[in-house]
Structure 1
Amino acid sequence: KYGYINDLIGTVETGASKIKSGLLRFQEYNGLDQTGVLDDATRELINQPRCGVSDIDPQKENKWNRKLLTYAIGSLPEELSFDARGVETQITQAFRNGADSYRGADIQIDFMKGRHGDGNAFDGPSGVWLTQTWALTRPRRPMRSYTQLYQVAVHEIGHSLGLGHSRDKSAIMAPMYKSWISSLRLGQDDILEVQRRYGPAKESEIDSQSKNEVKYDE
């Protein structure tokens, strides 16, 4: 599902050998000891909430060929404690977060659950959260829920701009989500990957450096 075993299908490797090869690739990608077995460290990482997009070459060099882009929120959460204005504010801020690198994206944003038409069903709370259609677990507190929405939105906007996952654990585009971030910043790897596709933003396009950081009090 995440690319570690897919390209081994149809090879002469046995099932057990393919699993070992997939584990070795997963461990190497994520900076773990390459044991080829499902040890405690590997199991812990596999069980972390993560993005549903494949880690191995999912996007290649996709990018938009124009700079005037739009987005729309197609549906809102039905069961979570979000209000429409709060969702809109966080999504808008997530787009602004990337202003130092590139402005906007032509995206439809939907909150869905389970099977949603792209062949990759969401697992539910603490499982696979998104595959460029955005979903969140039930928040414990409204402020934290908005913060988590903001983190997830920035990550998915990165995919919509053509970015794949990053091996840098501090990057927004790392496949595993951070549990909660009080101060969210684009990592250097995130910025470089966006600028490699679209070039750096002009100074006139950036209101202030604070667009790259948002802080929340609990």
Structure 2
Amino acid sequence: MFHSFFFLIFLLFPPKLLLARIIPSTALEEQQHRRTIFTRFLGTGRGTEITGLSDLKKYFNRFGYLAPPRNRSESFTDQFDRRFELAVVTYQKTLGLPISGKLDSDTLNEISSPRCGVPEFPALHARATTKRFDYFTSQPMWTRGIPMTLTYAFSSQNMINSPALNDIRRVFKRAFNRWSVVIPANFTETEDYDFADVKIGFYNGDHGDGEPFDGILGVLAHAFSPEVGKLHLDAAEIWAIDFSSEKSDSAVDLESVATHEIGHLLGLAHTSVKGAVMYPSLKPRERKLELKMDDIKGIQALYGSNPNFKLTASLQSDISSSSRAVNSMVKSSMIKLMTMSIITILLLFLVM
């Protein structure tokens, strides 16, 4: 379930239309929308005031990075103040972006990208430098016997015409299988929607769960943590299974999104590893299907490893790359610490 804290904030301060996610209906409008964001906000930092920044703050509030104004009668301002700077820094750190505290190109590119609707709430989580995957608060998981068996079903009343239902079924079967390869779990489709463990459907706008969809290339989907078992996708998106047959520049890969949302259903929150399945954003016509070691380590920490799971060559390469990255971070931290120590010694020497 989304954090109860978020529901309280949502009820007290319901978000309105976000400038960072004005609803485009075509790829051209999406491109114009992105240019507007970059032109207006690029390079903005603390101490500046710019029209529209209050709407951008609503985006940060929506995904758990910025608390609402302390006074309920007040609204967000257009001032780039200290609180917003901290929110930007936290956003950059949480999503593995260069940390500048400003609305630089990397940050604005991420803000304007389609993404999952599950918020990060970084204040409720503590990431170690070598552990980039994350969980929901209190680490909920499915409490079933091992190997675990979960059933899933599709809503007959909340379905789209394209792709066809049989194609959607095949996509989700493959997506569930990716997770069952690495953990001792089986996922079986059932026709009994009411009694299925996982319920899947496509919805438009406000569909009654407090998480309204916002149209094409905004929030793509969201899923609830164990053991709620709800997976909702935005019916307004141009969902694609094969990009060779779907030519739209706004097409979104259904299998990539399904694989990501199943990770939430199983208990994983978002990661800061950009290449991982559980990273929150997915660009149009991008495919992100294969679980990375970050995804695998996170889910196996909850459920254990499938006894038949074996590392592939690509995963072994992923481990090596991650190790090099961690070693580089440790080395950089040591250099910074040594530099500060030398400066401190020199200052003490000069004082003496």
| 1:77-156 paired onto structure 2 within 5 Å | 77-78=159-160, 81-102=162-183, 103-104=185-186, 106-132=197-223, 133-135=232-234, 137-139=237-239, 143-144=242-243, 148-156=253-261
Q: Contact conserved, 2:256 with 2:288, CA < 8 A, in 1? A: no
Question: Could you tell me which residue of structure 2 aligns to residue 2 of structure 1?
Answer: 63
Question: Could you tell me which residue of structure 1 aligns to residue 273 of structure 2?
Answer: 168
User: After TM superposition, where is structure 1 displaced by more than 6 Å over at least 4 residues in a row?
Assistant: none
Identity %: 31
Question: Could you tell me which residue of structure 2 aligns to residue 189 of structure 1?
Answer: 294
| 1:71-82 paired onto structure 2 within 5 Å | 71-75=152-156, 76-78=158-160, 81-82=162-163
Pick closer, same or farther for the CA change 1:104–1:59 going to 2, 3 Å.
farther
| TM-score when normalising by structure 2 | 0.52
CA distance in 1, matches of 2:69, 2:115: 24
| TM-score when normalising by structure 1 | 0.81
Question: Could you tell me which residue of structure 2 aligns to residue 216 of structure 1?
Answer: none
Question: Could you tell me which residue of structure 2 aligns to residue 68 of structure 1?
Answer: 149
CA distance in 2, matches of 1:197, 1:24: 29
Gaps of 5+ in 1: 213-218
Pick closer, same or farther for the CA change 1:5–1:112 going to 2, 3 Å.
same
Task: After superposing the two structures, state which structure 1 stretch, 119-128 or 155-164, moved more.
Answer: 119-128
* Residue 306 of structure 2 corresponds to residue 201 of structure 1: yes
C-alpha RMSD of matched pairs (Å): 2.9
CA distance in 2, matches of 1:176, 1:91: 19
1:99-146 C-alpha deviation (Å, 9 max, x unpaired): 22232463100101211112121111111111221226214x652369
Pairwise CA distance, 1:40: 2.6
Pick closer, same or farther for the CA change 1:190–1:142 going to 2, 3 Å.
closer
CA distance in 1, matches of 2:204, 2:108: 25
CA distance in 1, matches of 2:300, 2:275: 18
Secondary structure of residue in 2 paired with 1:44: helix
| Higher RCO structure (Cα 8 Å, ≥6 apart) | 1
CA distance in 1, matches of 2:110, 2:294: 21
Which amino acid counterpart does residue 70 of structure 1 have in structure 2?
T
CA distance in 1, matches of 2:198, 2:171: 15
Pairwise CA distance, 1:77: 3.4
CA distance in 2, matches of 1:27, 1:18: 14
CA distance in 1, matches of 2:241, 2:182: 29
Which amino acid counterpart does residue 51 of structure 1 have in structure 2?
C
Pick closer, same or farther for the CA change 1:176–1:143 going to 2, 3 Å.
same
Which amino acid counterpart does residue 138 of structure 1 have in structure 2?
I
Question: How many residues in Structure 1 have an aligned counterpart in Structure 2?
Answer: 203
Pick closer, same or farther for the CA change 1:9–1:189 going to 2, 3 Å.
farther
Pairwise CA distance, 1:183: 7.2
Q: Contact conserved, 2:221 with 2:233, CA < 8 A, in 1? A: yes
Q: Contact conserved, 1:51 with 1:129, CA < 8 A, in 2? A: yes
